[in-house]
Amino acid sequence: MSGRLQSIISGRGPIKTIGVVGMGYVGIPAAVLFANAPGFESVLGFQRASPSSGYKVAMLNRGESPLKGEEPDLEDLLGKVVAAGKFRCTSDFEEVAACDAVTLAIQTPFADPKDLIPDFSALTEGLRAVGRHLSEGTLVVIESTVTPGTTECMARVILEAESGLVAGEEFALAHAPERVMVGRLLRNIREHDRIVGGIDEVSTARAVELYRPVLTAGKIIAMTATAAEVTKTAENAFRDLQIAAANQLALHCEAMGVNVYDVRAGIDSLKGEGITRAILWPGAGVGGHCLTKDSWHLERGAQVLGGDLWYPHGAESIFGVARKLNEFMPEHMVYLTVEGLRRAGKPLAGATVTLLGWAFIQNSDDARNTPSEPYLAVMKEAGAEVRVHDPFVDQYPGIEVSHDLDETLVGADAVVVFTAHHHYASLDPARTKELSGREHPVIVDGRNVVDPDAFIRAGFVYKGIGRGDRNGHPIRE
């Protein structure tokens, strides 16, 4: 336990002034909740005056949220704390010096999904800006999802180099990963348990003091900084693994002529104390900002920190295998489309394919890392003409997205469901066939949203993920 840091912090007194770096979908709700907590006096939102995001400073200081989409209570609470003078946004990082605690909520994407090297440039810039104005006894917390080892190593080195202070001796350092989902930002921060991990016990204790006041149903789970980084990346790696297990089972069921959804229901029925079968859902692929990268952060952490890893020698980590299986699912959708067109006597080259769903998740406009994109690329490469429909996505770089379902179905040789938007559950076989103008149009269901028998009776060639019981059906003349 660092006596020196403890005495500096004791001399500083309870946390009163907080800085939050990064006014995005993590930083803004966090800052507003800190400002609304009675024990804290003021919160500063730090936002770079960059061409793309600098506008947020004035907007936030007017009590307006720059976040898209519905966020219950956020704008009301923002207006309240701004009016009360408890929250202010600024681009002047010199004001970090007045903060008892500073959190950094800055995105850490992969620069290139191919080589999976994390792009920490924005985070390191934020760390440098904080380090330059860090004062003795301040707590620095990283909320971004980072490769295990980042807080103890890269972040510590940058902060010490910029401030001339020693972490664990003259300032506290911790990791407290965000667990928020769009549409429920405030609720998630208040109600989810909060993982808090310091580089030492004094840092952990100071971080607990920072987060406890904003929790309602959630409780604090304290650990080391690296354990907190592993927890965050692993909680998503586990979800990715569960989805991959469902996808692997679906592929096996296709091979064995079985309906994977019957099997899933059977497995899910096994309940009772101490029995868990958290079987998730197979599908056309896994998109989004979390699951597509966090397994690779975890793997990189094990490689960087782990030295001589002890997998079964020569075997690959199951988290890496799971990632590759989930990334394979759009390819399997290509296979199902090609097989369906073959059965309908239609070559892939020149075929017209209607792709239903561009968002990575149902009933949302969020298209980050959508599995529809790799599918589209392969189909276009093979000479198919693909039209994209999505009722929620308005635009996407390089892609023309239609909101007119009937229009996109006209002349379709194949209709392919990639996203389980509620609109597609009511797709009518007769109407769809009429619009396609085809004797035997193909339907490929990547999310189990249509009734296979209704489409087969209408003369469709049906293919579905995991539908080994229907994928070889006789074609109705």
Among the residue ranges 47-55, 101-109, 214-222, 284-292, the one whose residues contact ligand SAJ (CB under 6 A): 284-292
360 belongs to the binding site for ligand SAJ (CB under 6 A)? yes
Among the residue ranges 118-126, 127-135, 179-187, 464-472, the one whose residues contact ligand SAJ (CB under 6 A): 179-187
Among 89, 99, 253, 290, the active-site one is: 290
Q: Are strands 117-118 and 110-112 parallel, antiparallel or unpaired?
A: antiparallel
Least spacing, CB of residue 416 vs ligand SAJ, in Å: 15
Least spacing, CB of residue 373 vs ligand SAJ, in Å: 12
Contact call for residues 126 and 104 (beta carbons, < 8 A):
yes
Contact call for residues 136 and 170 (beta carbons, < 8 A):
yes
Q: Give all strands (DSSP E) within 251-382, no chain letters.
A: 352-356
Least spacing, CB of residue 5 vs ligand SAJ, in Å: 31
Least spacing, CB of residue 346 vs ligand SAJ, in Å: 28
**Vertex 113: Cα angle to 112 and 118 (nearest 5):** 65
Residue 293: active-site member: no
181 belongs to the binding site for ligand SAJ (CB under 6 A)? yes
Among 232, 346, 433, 463, the active-site one is: 232
What order do you get walking across the sheet with 139-142 strand by strand?
Answer: 87-90, 42-46, 17-21, 101-104, 139-142, 172-175, 194-198, 220-224
Which of 89, 140, 207, 291 binds ligand SAJ (CB under 6 A)? It is: 291
Among the residue ranges 9-17, 130-138, 210-218, 277-285, the one whose residues contact ligand SAJ (CB under 6 A): 277-285
For residue 352, the cross-strand partners are 385
What 3-state class would DSSP assign to 266?
A: helix
Among the residue ranges 70-78, 84-92, 176-184, 300-308, the one whose residues contact ligand SAJ (CB under 6 A): 176-184
Contact call for residues 31 and 61 (beta carbons, < 8 A):
no
335 belongs to the binding site for ligand SAJ (CB under 6 A)? no
How far apart (Å, rounded) are the C-alpha atoms in residues 356 and 405? 9
Which of 198, 283, 374, 464 binds ligand SAJ (CB under 6 A)? It is: 283
179 belongs to the binding site for ligand SAJ (CB under 6 A)? yes
How far apart (Å, rounded) are the C-alpha atoms in residues 174 and 221? 13
Contact call for residues 118 and 108 (beta carbons, < 8 A):
yes
Contacts of ligand SAJ in 242-271 (CB under 6 A) = 243
Among the residue ranges 89-97, 275-283, 344-352, 428-436, the one whose residues contact ligand SAJ (CB under 6 A): 275-283
Nearer to ligand SAJ, 67 or 81 (CB): 67
Nearer to ligand SAJ, 296 or 360 (CB): 360
Nearer to ligand SAJ, 235 or 451 (CB): 235
DSSP for 150-199 reads: TIIIIIHHHHHHHH---BTTTBEEEE------TT-HHHHHHHS-EEEEES
Instruction: Tell me which DSSP letter residue 467 carries.
Output: B
Which of 138, 150, 203, 236 binds ligand SAJ (CB under 6 A)? It is: 236
Sign of the dihedral defined by the CA atoms of residues 198, 204, 210, 216, in that order? positive
Count of alpha carbons within 13 angstroms of residue 274, beta-carbon side: 0
417 belongs to the binding site for ligand SAJ (CB under 6 A)? no
Residues near ligand SAJ, by CB under 6 A: 179-181, 235-236, 239, 243, 280-281, 283, 286-288, 290-291, 360-361
**Residues recognised as catalytic:** 232, 290
